[in-house]
Amino acid sequence: MGQQSWDEGPRIYNLFPLLAGPMPQWSAHIARARAMGFNWLFINPIQQSGFSGSLYSIKDYYAIDARMLDPAGGKPEDQLRAMVGAVHGAGMRLMLDLVINHTAVDSPLVREHPQWYRRGPDGKPLHPGTQDGDRWVTWGDLYEIDNEASPDREGLWRYWIDLAKLCAASGFDGFRCDAAYKVPDVLWRRLIGEVKHSAPGAMFFAESLGCPFDDTLKLGRAGFDFIFNSSKWWDFTAPWCLKQYRESGAVAPSISFAESHDTERLAAELRGDQEAVKMRYAFSALFSTGVMIPMGFEYGFRGRLNVVKTRPQDWEQPAWDLSGYIAAVNRLKASHRTFNEEGPIDAVDSGNPALFAFLKSTGDRSERALVILNKDSKNSQLCDLARLGYLFARASAVEDVSPHARLVPAPGTQICRLEPSGVGVLVARFG
């Protein structure tokens, strides 16, 4: 076989530090992530938290939170260096959360640089918040940064740029940029440009969930390498998901996830339906260029990750172990170019409304993949491949790479049976 001619998309394992414990204890998690075929390890903020203890309420950007450290493990910088070395030694790249739209209310920056914060009519710093249904939720442990109109905007921006450059120099290969849509595009362009100048391989991932879709498109144009999409919430019927995929793919490739640290556990949402969980992972891995899962997904954990309260003692008794299945899907994803780029996707009529089928192609149409999902979690469903044969009429080769079970036709027919929540995948090459 010749050398692979495409870049593999990011397959991201989110090691949640409050569940994993101090950095010297991460070795087994790093090894497991690599064994499952992930090529990136993403960790949430590890800097010193403020009084609330939230990972996203950062008090000191240049100190490591005590919860990430082993008191008997040596100097903090040595523990950090060893962790970075372990990730790179396992053959993965390392991603850190970059939080620059707010700080903890008890951060020294509030006192040292009061002009960096947004303020209300009374002159007091403002707490950020979000709309949750019919009510507005205010985060009282945070003060909002004024990245757009601070009187000392140059000093503020320089602080963030120097911070990101230091993290890159310390071994972090990429950044998940928290609430990226709340930061001005012009700052992102400058920060990304300067970091990539000093660390050419650095990559930036825009977290933009919950913002207007137009803001997500702006982030793609601001220099981000990847954005996160909302396919997790798709019912395989409404037109919005494919529409967004087509529009965002024109500006930046995207990353799917079946669950994240910000969502409920999928095993809980699907009431312990292991096959349905497997189907959603396969879909998220094959739909877009990148894929991500948080720690514990592979074991069917049901307790939602909490950025304040989660502790290593919350490690659950596994309901199952999908490590082998996830590894198989990740191998499938890595092995075919069409699953590693934001190529065209078209829904296909399979003739069975209980199935959802889509055709994903490389940009040059030299490779196409037909993915068939059984939306029915209770019953097997039939798929007539003869009805779909026109999709591969001029193919030079067609391969069945289904991760659940091969699409075996009934004798004398082209009719295949997909088990409940089953996934069928055919890959064809042209030319």
Per-residue confidence (pLDDT) for residue 1, from 0 to 100: 42
CA–CA separation, 261 vs 15, rounded Å?
10
CA–CA separation, 17 vs 20, rounded Å?
5
State mean pLDDT over 110-132. 93
Q: pLDDT for 207-249, tens place per residue?
A: 987 778 888 888 889 999 999 999 999 999 999 999 999 999 9
Contact 364, 335 (CB under 8 A): no
Contact 115, 152 (CB under 8 A): yes
- On the question of pLDDT at 2 being above 90, the answer is no
Which pLDDT band holds residue 431 (cuts at 50, 70, 90)?
confident
Burial pattern 87-102, b for ≥16 Cβ within 10 A else e, equals: beebebbbbbbbbbbb
CA neighbor of 360 nearest in space, from 280, 274, 246, 251: 246
CA neighbor of 288 nearest in space, from 338, 347, 342, 326: 342
Per-residue confidence (pLDDT) for residue 210, from 0 to 100: 74
Per-residue confidence (pLDDT) for residue 405, from 0 to 100: 85
